[in-house]
Structure 1
Amino acid sequence: MSDDNSNLVAVQADDIELEGELIIPEGAEGLVVFAHGAGSSRHSPRNNFVAESLRERGLGTLLFDLLTEQEDLHRASRFDIDLLTRRLDAATEWLRGRDDAVDLRLGYFGSSTGAAAALRAAARRDDIAAVVSRGGRVDLATDQLPSVTAPTLCIVGGDDQQVLALNRQALGRLDAEKNLHVVPGAGHLFEGTGELEEVATVAGEWFQRHLSGEQYE
Structure 2
Amino acid sequence: MTYGKFQKTFALSVPVDRAWQAFTDAKDLEVWLTGTVQEADVRQGGRIAWAEDDYGRLVWDIVEADPPNKLVYKESSSILPVPTDVTVTFEESQSGTKITVTQAGFGEGENWQTHLDNVGLAWVQTLAALDLYLRTGARFDRFFTFQSGLGMLTDDLLAGPVVLSVDDGAFAAKAGIQRGDIILKLGTAPVFSRSDLWLFNREHPIGEEVEVTYARSGEVLTARAALTEPT
Larger RCO: Structure 1 or Structure 2 (Cα < 8 Å, ≥ 6 residues apart)? Answer: 1
TM-score when normalising by structure 1: 0.30
Q: Which protein has the bigger helix share?
A: 1
Structure number, greater radius of gyration? 2
Q: Which protein has the bigger strand share?
A: 2
